[in-house]
């Protein structure tokens, strides 16, 4: 079983829709990261969370430590949001290395 599980694997939305991507983890963490991977392969860090909620523009990330679950929400989605969204965790037992989920491929159609 993967330590970090994401759902859905693939998500197709129409422009303007509200999008939710979920991440569950099975290990003790010091932080959870949401990352965006562009079609060319580059990775951009979106959020790092250890509790509560963070917002940046149209992106919102939440984490529930008790339930070992995080969500990434995109409001008013746009075709330029199309990318792979990756959840990764810093485990309590393994220093600063990141353990990655499989990613969610998001496609937003105009």
Partner 1 sequence: EPEVTQTPSHQVTQMGQEVILRCVPISNHLYFYWYRQILGQKVEFLVSFYNNEISEKSEIFDDQFSVERPDGSNFTLKIRSTKLEDSAMYFCASSEAPRVGQYFGPGTRLLVL
Q: Is the dihedral of CA 55, 59, 63, 67 positive or negative?
A: positive
Residues 36-75 that bind partner 1 (CB under 8 A): 40-45, 48
> How far is Cα of residue 40 from the mean position of the Cα atoms in its chain?
18
- Name which of 88 and 108 has its Cβ closer to partner 1: 88
Please give the DSSP secondary-structure letter assigned to residue 1: -
**Could you say whether residue 107 binds partner 1 (CB under 8 A)?**
no
**Could you say whether residue 98 binds partner 1 (CB under 8 A)?**
yes
Q: Is the dihedral of CA 52, 101, 37, 81 positive or negative?
A: negative
**Could you say whether residue 27 binds partner 1 (CB under 8 A)?**
no
Q: Interface residues with partner 1 (CB under 8 A)?
A: 30-31, 33, 35, 40-45, 48, 86, 88, 90, 94-103
């Amino acid at each position: 079983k993967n330590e970090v599980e994401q759902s859905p694997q693939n998500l197709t939305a129409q422009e303007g829709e509200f999008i939710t991507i979920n991440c569950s983890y099975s290990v003790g963490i010091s932080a959870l990261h949401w990352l965006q991977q562009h079609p060319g392969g580059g990775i951009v860090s979106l959020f790092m969370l250890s509790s509560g909620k963070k917002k940046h523009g149209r992106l919102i990330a939440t984490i529930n430590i008790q339930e070992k679950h995080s969500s990434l929400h995109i409001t008013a989605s746009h075709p330029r949001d199309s990318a792979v969204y990756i959840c990764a965790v810093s485990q309590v037992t393994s220093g600063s290395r990141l353990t990655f989920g499989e990613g969610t491929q998001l496609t937003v159609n105009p």
